[in-house]
Amino acid sequence: MDIFSKIKEKLSHEFIDIIEWLDYTDDTICHRFERYQNEIKNNAKLIVREGQTAVFINEGQLADVFKPGTYTLNTKNLPILTTLKGWKYGFDSPFKAEVYFVNTHLFTDEKWGTKNPITLSDDRFGLVEIRAFGTYAYRINDAGKFIINIVGTDSNFTNFEINEHLKSLIATRFTDTVGEAKLPIELYAANTTELSETCNEVMQPEFNSVGISLEKFYIENVSMPEDLKKEIFEYSRIDKLDLDKLTKFKTAKAIEAAALNNGGTAGAGMGMGMGFALAQQMGSIMTPQMSEHHRQQQNIQTPPPIPISVQYFYASNGLQAGPVSFGKLQSLFANRTINKDTLIWKSGLTTWQPLQQIDELKSFLGGSTPPPLPPQ
């Protein structure tokens, strides 16, 4: 073998015959196939495994993209690169191109969360702060677009690098979504499934624009300060209670406690579990047998029922507000928070009525004229 044949054989072995990527890690998303001066010789074998996509880049410009399979690299299988290189009749010498392998399998259980509290405006509680966290899953659905927009010239792009970008994007879009939802504050934690689906739809176009598909998005928890939780729970209880029954119950318990603490015939007769109704029945039976002295003593020992303060609910921006006292309601009318047409409800009313139709509230409207003086 002459010297020229030896040189030709040596050079032929320096060029890559097989182009493939064996990924032994779970966190690499994109890997650039390295070889001497990026040279690939004619009819080299390209092996793309399941869960991979191979992308050829020519001088920073996207060329051919290969799905899983085995390919012989020539002008037939490299139509875009052939056009970019200006090959009209095929090629025999090695050519230069960058080859990137992109991992297209599903990346699951990725974590996201709000770094800072999100401030929301609630009609009942004013400005409130919430935090949220959860998980998401994604995959690369357009390898060429992903390399051009995200990877650039990075030779080994990892899951950690893209996650930092995605988590910032998710937190921003989540903040926008919950801000525009304008739900009552307690419903954010109670409707995480619906909110997750909405956020997924909102974020999907932006993920797709860089070649990523957001496959799953979950909100696992929406949290708020403990003092706000207590206010919401208390408001919820009051909203569900029948205030008239509650007031009567508390009055009965107060009378029962007073009778037990003062002792005497009433206390002994009522016992621990007899209640207000039994006390009234016993009182009506025993009254005729009491002397005037005993009746006076009973009147002194047992206080009258506590006066019941009427509580009012009112409608504000389509939501129920209250309860408030008569004086508070009058203040709300004075500062124009409510008006004569505001819907009002109190115990005893079957339906909500405008303020101007409730007798004791008509005084808010003014215009009362005293009767004429009697004749001299």
pLDDT tens digits, one per residue of 135-166: 999 999 999 999 988 888 787 888 888 888 88
| Alpha helix positions (H), the chain | 3-14, 79-85, 143-146, 159-181, 185-190, 192-208, 226-240, 243-262, 264-270, 275-286, 292-301, 326-334
User: Which DSSP symbol is given to 365?
Assistant: G
Query: Confidence class of residue 310 from pLDDT cuts 50, 70 and 90?
Result: confident
Q: What is the mean pLDDT of the chain?
A: 77
Give the closest residue to 212 by CA, choosing from 157, 251, 267, 261. Answer: 157
* pLDDT value, residue 25: 72
Give the closest residue to 259 by CA, choosing from 243, 292, 282. Answer: 282
Query: Residue 245 above 80 pLDDT?
Result: no
* pLDDT value, residue 218: 92
How would you class 34 by CB atoms within 10 Å of its CB: exposed for 0-12, middle for 13-18, buried for 19 or more? Answer: exposed
* Beta strand pairing call for 16-19 and 39-48: parallel
Cα separation, 184 vs 190, in Å, equals: 10
Cα separation, 190 vs 360, in Å, equals: 39
What mean pLDDT do residues 182-188 have?
Answer: 75
Query: Confidence class of residue 363 from pLDDT cuts 50, 70 and 90?
Result: confident
Query: Residue 355 above 80 pLDDT?
Result: yes
Query: Residue 311 above 60 pLDDT?
Result: yes
* pLDDT value, residue 289: 45
Tell me phi and psi for residue 137, to 5 degrees.
-135, 145
pLDDT, greater one: 251 or 353: 353
pLDDT tens digits, one per residue of 281-296: 444 444 444 445 455 5
Query: Residue 278 above 60 pLDDT?
Result: no
pLDDT, greater one: 262 or 353: 353
In angstroms, what CA-CA distances link 304 with 8, 162, 265, 272? Answer: 116, 73, 17, 20
pLDDT tens digits, one per residue of 318-335: 888 888 988 888 888 888
| Alpha helix positions (H), 302-337 | 326-334
What mean pLDDT do residues 295-315 have?
Answer: 70
What mean pLDDT do residues 252-269 have?
Answer: 62
Tell me phi and psi for residue 146, to 5 degrees.
-65, -45
Cα separation, 134 vs 219, in Å, equals: 5
Cα separation, 49 vs 70, in Å, equals: 8
In angstroms, what CA-CA distances link 57 with 44, 65, 317, 372? Answer: 17, 9, 58, 100
* pLDDT value, residue 128: 81
Q: Poorest-confidence range of 102-106, 205-209, 270-274, 311-315?
A: 270-274
